[in-house]
Amino acid sequence: MKVVRIPLRRALRAYRRGRDGAAAVETALMLPILLVPLLNAIDLGSYAFQRMQVENAAVIGSEEARSFCNSPTKLPATTTCTGFSSAETSAIQSTSLGTNVSAVSGYPKEGYYCTLTDGTIQLVASVPTAPLASCSSYTAPSGKAWSAPSAIPSDFIQIRVNYTYTPSFGSVSLASLLPGTITATTWSRLQ
């Protein structure tokens, strides 16, 4: 067998000019740089979707209160409407997040409100206290007035739900900087 000797200089020049495996090396070097934004996009998209689901759960919960307790004899819903609590829980857990969504402690909150001339509502009586005959029976906040003083206070319910979000790629994801608990609140007029 004949041994062929190639001078070292010529071998190094040939190695530098050679392109075998260059694409694989370049891909290996660029992959981490391209992968981090991709993982961030996945986590941020997941966060946005789950936030929408939590907001949807709150809306579904307030709609359930209005439809389940739609009779004046069932109001106030939180104290009079039989089966309301379990119907409310089923409603807020009907999104794709399921039982991971829950009502915040102390909610739902229900009360009687009158409308001010600026369009905002003002609590005038808490449940289970029954409201007086009309909004004019209550003192409006300083510098404000009731938009309909002769109106009977309306029964409103406030639903607040939350969900704990965990990023899939927490160590490299900007989503880990977002709040871990997603909370949504909605109001619904029952009467």
Give the 3-state secondary structure of 54-67.
Answer: HHHHHHHHHHHHHH
For residue 43, the one-letter residue type is D
Cα first-last separation, the chain: 101
Q: For residue 127, give the nearest of 149, 104, 156, 103 by alpha carbon.
A: 156
What 3-state DSSP class applies to 154? strand
Convert the pLDDT of each residue in 20-79 to its tens digit.
677 677 778 888 888 889 999 999 999 999 999 999 999 999 999 988 988 888 888 888
Tell me how far CA of residue 108 lies from CA of 37, 77, 86, 187, in angstroms. 40, 10, 12, 10
Region of poorest pLDDT, from 12-21, 54-63, 132-141, 151-160: 12-21
**Predicted confidence band at 128 (pLDDT cuts at 50, 70, 90)?**
confident
Residue spans of the domains in the chain: they are 21-109+159-189
Confidence of residue 175 (pLDDT cuts 50, 70, 90): confident
Query: What pLDDT sits at residue 151?
Result: 93
Q: Average of pLDDT values for 90-104?
A: 94
